[in-house]
Amino acid sequence: MRVLGFGTNLLVSDEGVRGAVIKLQEQDFGKSRFNDDYLTVGAGAGLNKVVLDCVRKGLSGLEALTGIPGSVGGAIRMNAGGNFGDIGTSVHSVTLMDADGKIFEKSKPELVFDYRWTNITAKFVLDAKITLAESDKEQMLRTLKEVWIYKKNSQPLNIRSAGCVFKNPRGLSAGALIDRAGLKGLQIGAAQVSEKHANFIIAHKGCKSGDVQRLIEAVRERVKDKFSVELELELDIW
Ligand SMILES: Cc1cc2nc3c(=O)[nH]c(=O)nc-3n(C[C@H](O)[C@H](O)[C@H](O)COP(=O)(O)OP(=O)(O)OC[C@H]3O[C@@H](n4cnc5c(N)ncnc54)[C@H](O)[C@@H]3O)c2cc1C
């Protein structure tokens, strides 16, 4: 049994997967409720819409996540974020469900987030309580714009990809290592290392999952040969 968010950080095998794939539909699992202290939001909600809703209400806490595609559930599972911050910083608690259907809550400090990692092991994230603070709307809109421009200038957002392929090794940048190994633009089948950001693999028309997987292995090998660094996947491969 697998849980699907919006699929923005997934590479699914050309053969598909054996078993059930469960998606928390936005219409049932995407509701938001604001109260004085928190936003309670369903895991199926689109992250970008939630960020915008908060800013429009003058509530600060999620602006750093501007432009990150995907669902709230996926963002929590991956602790999505970037140079400006991550979602874990603002999460107060989550409602989880295990594979047997048992529903329970987990709050900080029991709930831990780290770089693209969380200690959530339950199968489903159902919803989250996010801590927000009242703030100046104009200032927040400026931050939103700044984050968006940074993202647009540094990542290939208009071409199909699954986001960053590898985690940054401690103290290093995976993209910079791939770039320094001379791999920008390397293509296998219809999969290509992005010229704009070397940690993105872009999928040209007709691209197969197998093309991406072979390119991932080629990049890994070359980076290991050149820098003795083992790149670890950020992307989830099914
Ligand atoms: C153009 C582009 C730019 C991106 N930029 C960034 C970035 O700046 N920073 C960043 O961190 N990521 C980035 N990503 C990666 C991706 O957007 C994030 O990881 C996102 O949070 C994944 O959300 P999703 O709903 O698409 O999850 P999916 O890709 O569907 O799933 C990802 C993982 O989360 C699990 N999952 C999903 N929903 C749930 C749930 N409700 N309960 C339990 N598990 C669940 C899945 O089983 C899977 O293991 C980018 C991707 C793209 C395509």
Q: Does any ligand 1 atom lie closer than 6 A to the CB of residue 157? A: yes
**Is 54 within 8 Å of 72 (Cβ atoms)?**
no
pLDDT band at 76 (very low <50, low <70, confident <90, very high): very high
CATH of the domain at 105: 3.30.465.10
Task: Write down the pLDDT at residue 36.
Answer: 73
Beta bridge partners of 95: 105, 127
The number of beta carbons lying within 10 Å of the beta carbon of residue 102 is 9
Q: Say what percent of the chain tops pLDDT 70.
A: 100
Position 57: which residue type? K
Kindly state whether residues 100 and 183 are assigned to the same domain.
no
Render pLDDT for 107-126 as a digit per residue (tens, 0 to 9).
999 999 999 999 999 999 99
Render pLDDT for 40-69 as a digit per residue (tens, 0 to 9).
999 999 999 999 999 999 999 999 999 999
What are the structure tokens assigned to 209, written together?
């999952």
Give 75 Cα–ligand 1 centroid separation in angstroms.
5
The number of beta carbons lying within 10 Å of the beta carbon of residue 196 is 14
Asked whether the predicted pLDDT for residue 37 surpasses 80, the reply is no
Position 130: which residue type? I
- Is position 16 within any domain? yes
Kindly state whether residues 24 and 63 are assigned to the same domain.
yes
Q: Does any ligand 1 atom lie closer than 6 A to the CB of residue 162? A: yes
Which residue do the tokens 């390119």 mark? Answer: 215
Q: Does any ligand 1 atom lie closer than 6 A to the CB of residue 7? A: yes
Q: Is the pTM of this model over 0.85?
A: yes
Kindly state whether residues 140 and 46 are assigned to the same domain.
yes
DSSP state for residue 144 in the 8-state scheme: H
Kindly state whether residues 97 and 180 are assigned to the same domain.
no
Position 134: which residue type? E
- Is position 167 within any domain? no
Q: Does any ligand 1 atom lie closer than 6 A to the CB of residue 175? A: no
Asked whether the predicted pLDDT for residue 189 surpasses 90, the reply is yes
Kindly state whether residues 231 and 131 are assigned to the same domain.
no
H/E stretch holding 225: helix 209-227
- Is position 163 within any domain? no
How far apart CA 86 and CA 83 sit, in angstroms, is 8
Q: Does any ligand 1 atom lie closer than 6 A to the CB of residue 30? A: no
222-226: average pLDDT: 98
Residue range(s) defining the domain that contains residue 202 = 174-237
- Is position 100 within any domain? yes
End-to-end CA distance of the chain: 11
CATH of the domain at 191: 3.90.78.10
Asked whether the predicted pLDDT for residue 13 surpasses 90, the reply is yes
Give 156 Cα–ligand 1 centroid separation in angstroms.
16
How many domains does the chain contain in total? 2
Kindly state whether residues 82 and 180 are assigned to the same domain.
no
Kindly state whether residues 57 and 148 are assigned to the same domain.
yes
**Is 80 within 8 Å of 69 (Cβ atoms)?**
no
- Is position 164 within any domain? no
How far apart CA 126 and CA 123 sit, in angstroms, is 10
Kindly state whether residues 130 and 188 are assigned to the same domain.
no
CA 83 to centroid of chain Cα atoms = 13
Kindly state whether residues 88 and 193 are assigned to the same domain.
no
**Is 92 within 8 Å of 107 (Cβ atoms)?**
yes
- Is position 137 within any domain? yes
What are the structure tokens assigned to 8, written together?
């923005």
DSSP state for residue 224 in the 8-state scheme: H
- Is position 233 within any domain? yes
Kindly state whether residues 106 and 44 are assigned to the same domain.
yes
Kindly state whether residues 25 and 88 are assigned to the same domain.
yes
